[in-house]
Structure 1
Amino acid sequence: MAFARSVYNMLFRRTSTFAITIVVGAVFFERVFDQGGDAIFEQLNRGKLWKHIKHNYEGKDES
């Protein structure tokens, strides 16, 4: 209970710190969610993305 009270007093008691906490939390959540979504997408599509197959098409200059 002491931890919850100290978090409340530090972050949520004043409106300005509450708003900053919400904004920082939203930005952090967005970054984590985006990185996780990209990781899942790349895991499911391994071997089909351009970065996995571009070595077959680039670098072979036959001029």
Structure 2
Amino acid sequence: MSLTKSAYNLLFRRTSSFAITIMVGAVFFERFFDQGGDFVFDSMNRGKLWKHIKHNYENKDEE
């Protein structure tokens, strides 16, 4: 109960802190969701994407 009361008093009691909490949470959620989607896409397409096969097409003697 103490933890929830502390979180409420710190993050949600005032409108300004509530708005900042929502904005920061949205930024972190967007970042997490975007990286999770990229990970799923890369794992489903492993071996088909350029970053996985470019070593087959690069010349070793280029300087």
Q: TM-score, normalised by structure 1?
A: 0.89
**Structure 1 counterpart of 2:10:** 10
CA displacement at 1:60 relative to structure 2: 5.7
Task: Give the RMSD, CA atoms, in angstroms.
Answer: 1.2
Alignment of 1:27-42 (within 5 A): 27-42=27-42
Structure 2 residue ranges without an equivalent (≥5): none
Count of residues in correspondence between the two structures:
61
- Aligned residue identity for 2:13: R
Alignment partners' CA distance in 2, 1:16 and 1:52: 46
Deviates more, 1:49-58 or 1:26-35: 49-58
2-side partners of 1:59 and 1:23: how far apart? 47
**Runs of at least 4 residues off by over 6 Å:** none
Tell me the equivalent position of 2:46: 46
* Structure 1: stretches of 5+ with no match in the other structure: none
In the alignment, which residue of structure 1 is the partner of 2:22?
22
The percentage of counterpart residues that share the same residue type is 75
2:56 aligns to what?
56
Q: 1:14-47 deviations in whole A, cap 9, x for unaligned? A: 0110000000000000000000110011011000
